[in-house]
Amino acid sequence: LRSNQEKQQSYEFVSIEDLVPADHMLRKIDKYIDFTFIDEKVRHLYAQDNGRPAIDPLVLFKMIFLGYFYGIRSERQLEREVQTNLAYRWFLGLGLTDRVPDHTTISWNRRTRFKVTSVFQDIFDEIVLQAITHRMVGGRVLMATDLSIYHRGGWQESQATVTGSHSIIIWESSDLVNWSEPRMVEVAPKEAGCAWAIIDTTIIKAGGMYYRASGDGQITIESSERLMGEWKVISTLESLGLELTGKNVEGPEFFKFNGEEKWGLLVDQ
């Protein structure tokens, strides 16, 4: 029999990849969410002639994501959790012996570098969009603008664009039958005139390809092999002979016919 001291002095060669269960939630997130867009989102916030940042922005934001996803509100505690949790290390691309970013570095970036920017909201929106596209978000959400052109005196003198609400109204449902009470969420900055349509692009995945329809002066339909890749124009509604442009329709939305491998496109007139 070996003594405990002999066991403690033995060495084992392991791979962190083998230590994270195949069905771990972070593996699913890593498979479907492409976080590389973060580098482009924050590049303008770093001085390009000062070398590499003290902490990789991708690691920084993925670490912050872990904190929100698992309810770890303290940055000090988040640092400790990443130090001992193999799945967290794997998700961040850290090896077993790699140094975990210090909580003070995370705090400084959040409170100083990113304080007066919308970068956190922009990154959150992109992650949610990717999650929705991959059907990772459960339940259904109905969103509407909190605007009434008529009750605010119409369009004269462009007042409709500067006197509206900064909020959207949200209803939630898990079965499309029973809906929650409406709640208001402020989404537009204080200096904005009002919050218009939530999004004028809809994206779906079908047959291994991504398709999107956007209100961009036209209703333009495009396709791409990758969500963050190059998009190629398929057509516009006007070029299909429908005489529909951004002047008379907006808010495109794809929908799938029940029981059929066929999709339709709704627009708001």
Task: Give pTM, 2 decimals.
Answer: 0.53
Q: How far apart are CA 140 and CA 253, in angstroms?
A: 14
Q: What pLDDT shows up at residue 7?
A: 55
The amino acid that residue 87 corresponds to is A
Tokens 């999709």 sit at which residue? 263
Q: Where are the domains of the chain?
A: 10-131, 138-198, 199-269
Separation of alpha carbons 166 and 99, rounded Å: 43
* pLDDT reading at 4 higher than 70: no
Give buried/exposed letters for 241-258 (b at 16+ CB in 10 A, else e).
Answer: eeebebeebebbebeeee
Q: What is the CA radius of gyration of the chain?
A: 24
Give the contacts of 17 (CB within 8 A, at least 6 positions apart). 90
Kindly state the tokens that stand for 154.
């119409």
pLDDT in tens, 123-166: 888 888 888 777 777 677 787 776 776 676 666 666 666 777 77
Torsion over CA: 121, 123, 127, 130 (sign) = positive
Cα(245)–Cα(15) distance, integer angstroms: 55
Q: What is the pLDDT of residue 198?
A: 62
Query: C-alpha distances in angstroms, 243 versus 237, 239, 246, 251, 265?
Result: 7, 8, 10, 16, 15
Count other Cβ atoms within 10 Å, centred on residue 35. 19
pLDDT value of residue 114: 87
Strands 201-206 and 183-186: unpaired
Give the whole-angstrom CA distance, residue 153 versus residue 266.
29
- The per-residue pLDDT for range 46-92, each reduced to its tens digit, is 876 665 566 889 999 999 999 988 988 899 999 999 999 999 999 99
Burial per residue of 160-198, b for 16 or more beta-carbon CB atoms within 10 angstroms, e otherwise: beeebbbbbeeeeeeeeeeeeeeeeeebbeeeeebbeee
Q: Quick one: pLDDT at residue 79?
A: 94
pLDDT bin (cut points 50, 70, 90) of residue 199 is low
Closest CA relative to residue 215, chosen from 169, 253, 167, 242: 253
Q: How far apart are CA 82 and CA 50, in angstroms?
A: 28
